[in-house]
Amino acid sequence: MLFRPDGKDRLTGSRTAQSSPYDSYTCHFCGSKPQYHPEYITERPWFAHRPDDLTENGRQHCPYVNPVEKEVRRILKLRRYVADAQPVILRTDWHCSDCGNNYHGERYCVSCGTGDLSHMPKEAS
């Protein structure tokens, strides 16, 4: 997950954030304030959305909060073999049928503020 530090226009990964763990970060998709887990001992830091601190857009549309159902099923199957497997957000080309925007990355149209009407280009036609 990448989050933008408040007041700066750059994305930051969780390992990079270890150098500034007390900075305030914002989800680059939904604008919610995530909780940072530095995990200095395991060196596997991460960001997590907090249900009590989500924006309305985050509750409804953020791909980190609401992963695609197909991804959820895949993770449940994988957890039979790897107990702590986490979802992977699908990064591919998308077409938003609401505004006509074509973009690459997670299923979330920044123009519309949702991914509900976004489809992979082969599905969009």
DSSP string, 43-109: T--EEE--GGG--HHHHHH-TTTS--HHHHHHHHHHTTTSTT-------EEEEETTT--EEEESS-B
Query: Could you give the angle at the alpha carbon of 120 between the alpha carbons of 92 and 25, nearest 5°?
Result: 45
Rounded to whole angstroms, how far apart are CA atoms 86 and 112? 27
Report which of 48, 52, 51, 30 is spatially closest to residue 107, judged by C-alpha positions: 30
pLDDT tens-digit readout, 8-51: 667 788 888 888 777 888 888 888 888 888 887 777 888 888 88
pLDDT tens-digit readout, 47-79: 888 888 888 888 888 888 877 777 778 778 888
Q: Which tokens belong to 76?
A: 């449940």
| Contact status, residue 46 vs residue 21, Cβ threshold 8 Å | no
What is the pTM for the complete model shown? Answer: 0.55
